Each structure stands twice: as structure tokens, then as C-alpha cells.
């Protein structure tokens, strides 16, 4: 699975001008299930994200995790993280998991964050969404479960 984690002061997601999910201090997480991804990878990704030390301590060093700060998360499905530009300028998405599998893994990932004690809200899988955020830092981390 792939994810982009952005440290935020707040974020929200809207569908048709209606806010459907939000978070305060914490993380905006864009997540994409890839072909051959498993439940185990969703669990590993959630565990890693809750422990990444990207939040500042009293000395302004990134020593705290999402768990340590009691932060919240807004999780958005983002199949475009699977973009492949090897054959030109128009991205291909054939490496993304099929929608029914991707949705299952996305929902499992969200459940795992909640099991770790992270207050988590989401957008709506497969919908056109508008995401607003105040990026803190900015701090943005790209993750791929094939690399850890």
C-alpha cells in the first residue's frame, strides 16, 4: 500500500459542498491499495503511521508520534498514488488494486487506525471530493509498504 501523510493543524473533506470528514491537529492521510496488497500490509501501514515521529516536542524536535500527541486523522482514498508515467505523460493506474479489493483494504486500514486509538474520519471511497487543509510545517511523508 502507498500513503502520503501530511502533518496538519486541521483538514476537512467535502462532497457537493457538504463536509463529510475532518480532523484537527494530526494527519491527513492519502492512501492507495496496490495490486497484490494484503490485509497484513494495511495493518503494517496503519501501525507505522501511528508511530512516525513527525510532531514537535517542547524543544521543537520531531520526537512525538500521532499517538503521543493524541492526534486525529482524516483518511482519503487516493488511487492516483498508483500513477505510472513510464510510457508517456498520461498516467496509467493499472497497478492500483481493483475497486472492490481497494475499498476493503482502505476500510481495514481505517479500522486499524481506530484500533490504535486514533480518532479517525474519512471521505467517501470512490467519490469526487474536495480536500482542504492547513499543512503544519509543512511536513509530508511518502510511504510504501514494499519499502519497510
pLDDT for residue 47: 98
Q: How far is CA 90 from the centre of its chain?
A: 24
CA distance 129 to 30: 12
pLDDT for residue 96: 97
Among the listed residues 78, 120, 121, 145, the single catalytic one is 78
pLDDT tens digits, residue range 116-145?
999 999 999 999 999 999 999 999 999 999
26's enclosing H/E stretch is strand 26-32
pLDDT tens digits, residue range 74-133?
999 999 999 999 999 999 999 999 999 999 999 999 999 999 999 999 999 999 999 999
Among the listed residues 50, 79, 109, 145, the single catalytic one is 79
The single-letter DSSP state of residue 50 is: H
**If you average pLDDT over residues 26-37, what whole number do you get?**
98
Would you report the helix, strand and coil content of the chain in percent, each value rounded to 5?
25, 40, 35
Q: For the chain, what is the radius of gyration of the CA atoms?
A: 15
Percent of the residues in the chain that have a pLDDT greater than 70, as a whole number:
100
C-alpha cell read off for 112: 486499524
Percent of the residues in the chain that have a pLDDT greater than 90, as a whole number:
99
Do 20 and 14 meet the contact criterion of CB atoms below 8 Å apart?
yes
Cis peptide before 69 (omega within 30 of 0): no
To the nearest 10 degrees (0 to 180), the angle between helices 39-51 and 99-115 is: 40
80 is a catalytic site residue: yes
125 is a catalytic site residue: no
Domains of the chain, first to last: 2-147 (3.50.80.10)
Cα separations in angstroms, 46 against 14, 57, 81, 117: 23, 22, 17, 11
93 is a catalytic site residue: no
pLDDT, mean over the chain: 97
Amino acid at each position: 500500500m502507498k500513503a502520503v501523510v501530511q502533518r496538519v493543524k486541521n483538514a476537512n473533506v467535502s462532497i457537493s459542498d457538504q463536509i463529510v470528514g475532518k480532523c484537527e491537529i494530526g494527519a491527513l492521510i492519502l492512501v492507495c491499495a496496490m495490486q497484490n496488497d494484503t490485509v497484513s500490509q494495511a495493518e503494517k501501514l496503519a501501525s507505522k503511521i501511528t508511530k512516525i515521529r513527525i510532531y514537535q516536542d517542547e524543544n521543537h524536535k520531531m520526537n512525538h508520534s500521532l499517538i503521543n500527541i493524541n492526534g486525529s486523522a482524516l483518511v482519503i482514498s487516493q488511487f492516483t498514488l498508483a500513477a505510472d508515467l513510464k510510457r508517456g505523460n498520461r498516467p496509467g493506474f493499472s497497478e492500483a488494486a481493483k475497486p472492490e479489493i481497494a475499498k476493503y483494504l482502505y476500510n481495514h486500514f481505517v479500522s486499524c487506525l481506530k484500533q490504535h486509538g486514533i480518532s479517525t474520519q474519512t471521505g467517501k471511497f470512490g467519490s469526487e471530493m474536495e480536500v482542504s487543509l492547513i499543512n503544519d510545517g509543512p511536513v509530508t511523508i511518502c510511504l510504501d509498504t514494499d519499502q519497510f
